[in-house]
């Protein structure tokens, strides 16, 4: 995979995800959840970024697994790390907003915490990802962006 749990920093920082060296019980649980989101959403991001060009995505993923020294791919994958982290964090925060339980969907409540909305964070993560995607695509690939959702900005209403 291109990103790891150590890449979640700044706005994409996941609460309860501490440096992996720290032996905190909740750390391994959160780390495993984040890894499952990475495993699921990183390939989806790549398909959307490359306009569903499955040959291009397969070529890049094969290159990444082999660890060959192609300077163009190295640079592209290095630049794609931040947008992928934002995409995965967006999906994670959106998923964590409501927790499914045996009685239905429940909004988590912190007893002594200040309630805040994940809408603004998700909007910021998404729009920053879009901006990075547009710059990377136009500058690195020297082409106009495909018309897929990872290039389209959203507002706080997710429209």
> 19-58: per-residue pLDDT in tens?
555 566 667 788 888 999 999 999 899 888 887 666 777 7
Give bridge partners of residue 106 from the DSSP assignment: 99
C-alpha to C-alpha distance for 107 and 88, rounded to whole angstroms: 21
Mean pLDDT on 120-130: 92
| Sign, CA torsion 145/147/148/153 | positive
> Do the Cβ atoms of 3 and 42 come closer than 8 Å?
yes
Is 159 a residue whose pLDDT tops 80? no
Nearest to 151 by CA among 132, 130, 136: 130
Mean pLDDT on 110-137: 82
Mean pLDDT on 113-135: 85
Mean pLDDT on 126-151: 89
pLDDT for the residue 135: 92
**What is the average pLDDT score of the chain?**
79
> Do the Cβ atoms of 16 and 93 come closer than 8 Å?
no
% of the chain beyond a pLDDT of 70:
72
For tokens 């389209």, the residue is 152
pLDDT for the residue 19: 59
pLDDT for the residue 89: 92
């Amino acid at each position: 995979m291109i990103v790891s749990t150590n890449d979640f920093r700044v706005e994409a920082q996941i609460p309860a995800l501490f440096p992996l060296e720290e032996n905190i019980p909740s750390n391994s649980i959160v780390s495993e959840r984040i890894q499952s989101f990475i495993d699921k959403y990183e390939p989806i991001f790549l398909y959307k970024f490359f306009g569903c060009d499955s040959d291009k995505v397969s070529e890049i993923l094969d290159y990444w697994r082999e660890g060959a020294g192609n300077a163009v791919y190295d640079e592209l994958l290095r630049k794609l790390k931040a947008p992928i982290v934002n995409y995965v964090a967006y999906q994670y925060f959106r998923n964590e907003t409501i927790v499914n339980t045996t009685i239905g969907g429940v909004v988590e409540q912190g007893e002594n915490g200040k309630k805040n909305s994940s809408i603004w964070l998700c909007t910021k993560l998404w729009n920053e990802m879009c901006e990075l995607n547009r710059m990377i695509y136009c500058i690195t690939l020297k082409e106009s962006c495909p018309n897929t959702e990872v290039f389209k900005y959203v507002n706080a209403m997710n429209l």
